[in-house]
Structure 1
């Protein structure tokens, strides 16, 4: 394989199969699976489990066997390799709900080309639901069928549904006017993890804002949202592949409105 060859969607699904099998071996079991705590900004508890380590290890091995010239960055094992194509892996996004037995976690797999996110996969193996995107579009599949994803457009701000994963960072970031935003939308929901981003791509949520994402948290989701018609940027309106404070919306007009509120109150 060559360094400039992008994978196809079938390969994304094969990786999701591998990560899903490894994850489910440790899901809803009675064993102690937390290996360590990696506290980060605004969160006292950010666990790493056996499932995180195993799923990423197996995905890395599979990628390297097929695409030895591709670079990989993952939450658990860092960066390896170099080149124009890079895989971005979050073996279990939503480890806290994983520990609680709540199926709001997923295996996240992304691909960047020259730094831009071009392919993504979000797979929830316990309920058998997947969301993915390539150059041809954004899709979802489950026991209920196979559908093309499309974000909701032309929604007024006062009718918009807003999501952020946790209220914990709000008080520590008074310069980001999230409170002002919550007063102007229809309702605000918490705790959906990466599923909220998938539901934005599916037209069920209108805006998702997160205070501090890593590349592996957002890169796999960017193509899924963008190919469904949505917008993903940082607070300054730039590309979000590097993470940070990230806003995703289903509509460019709504996106600009919300950026203005978050930045100015």
Structure 2
């Protein structure tokens, strides 16, 4: 017997999800210990400009990798801070220990821990965890739910919304290249509301039915694997700006419904 997506046996899915929650719990402990702390000392990964990383990023990923080494040694790992570790199972854990390090530095609770699991076809399961708010968005392998202090509720993206009534989000107003910004602006001009700056939390809000579109560029695989799995499980659609797979990074358009996705995608491509 297999799970809903027919790619993992049910008994295997249960074990995978249990491990994923242990990863999220471990990352919570590491990130919260430094969030809004005077001990936080960001470093700059970039040769020019500013690409911050903190000890919370590194400790979070180390803690998750230690659990995987003990419990899933056959699986591969791709993490933002410590790179690629090859596996033999055909499954790869894709980890972003803090997505939104700039928000983390600023004390804003819009960052998150991203835990994705992919096979050769792409993401099959993901968690977007916001430790400070105690919100865990989970999707894939037959689940689509938000776990929080208030309890557990199903995740369902908003349906039946046209672009003229939609809420659109992206992290930075200056989206990608000049051509990508122009394409984004065509969609933004038609949306009812455009907001900026929530990093991975925008994708979580889309899965929960509060946001209708997220459009971004210049992303890495660890930025998108978990959000893709969660949004798809909640009934949404995620592709790149050409309508193809988005899990390798680059451009991404996430929509609450196929109809809204098609409407926005056409504008991105100048149709």
* 2:270 maps to 1:259: no
Aligned to 1:130: 136
Task: Please say if 1:163 is aligned against 2:169.
Answer: yes
Residue 81 (structure 1) aligned with residue 89 (structure 2):
no
Q: Are 1:34 and 2:42 matched, yes or no?
A: yes
1:48 aligns with 2:67: no
Whether contact under 8 Å (1:38, 1:48) holds in the other structure is: no
Q: Counterpart of 1:153? A: 159
**Structure 2: runs of 5+ lacking an equivalent:** 1-8
Check conservation: 1:170, 1:178, Cα contact below 8 A: no
Q: For residues 177 and 56 of structure 1, do their structure 2 counterparts lie closer, same or farther at Cα, with a shift above 3 Å needed? A: same
Aligned to 2:38, the other structure's residue is in SS state: coil
User: What TM-score, normalized to structure 1?
Assistant: 0.93
Q: Per the alignment, in what secondary structure is the counterpart of residue 177 of structure 1?
A: helix
Residue aligning to 1:59: 64
Corresponding pairs, count: 260
Please give the secondary structure, in 1, of the residue aligned with 2:125.
strand
Name the SS for the 1:108 alignment partner.
strand
2:248 matches 1:232 = no
Q: Write the distance in 1 (CA, Å) between the matches of 2:75 and 2:45.
A: 30
Q: Secondary structure at the match of 1:91?
A: strand
The one-character-per-residue Cα deviations of 1:175-198 (angstroms, maximum 9, x if unpaired) are 751112111110100011111100
- Residues 9, 134 of structure 1: 8 Å contact kept: no
1:10 alignment partner in structure 2: 18
Normalised by the length of structure 2, the TM-score is 0.91
Q: Post-superposition shift, 1:82? A: 2.9
Task: Decide whether aligned partners of structure 1 residues 23 and 175 sit closer, same or farther in structure 2, where only a CA change above 3 A counts.
Answer: closer
2:178 to 159, 162, 172: 172
**SS across alignment from 1:121:** strand
Tell me by how many angstroms 1:169 deviates: 2.8
Other structure's SS at 1:21 match: helix
How far apart, in 2, do the equivalents of 1:99 and 1:73 lie? 24
Q: 1:260 to 1:10 in 2, by over 3 A?
A: same
**Structure 1 residue ranges without an equivalent (≥5):** none
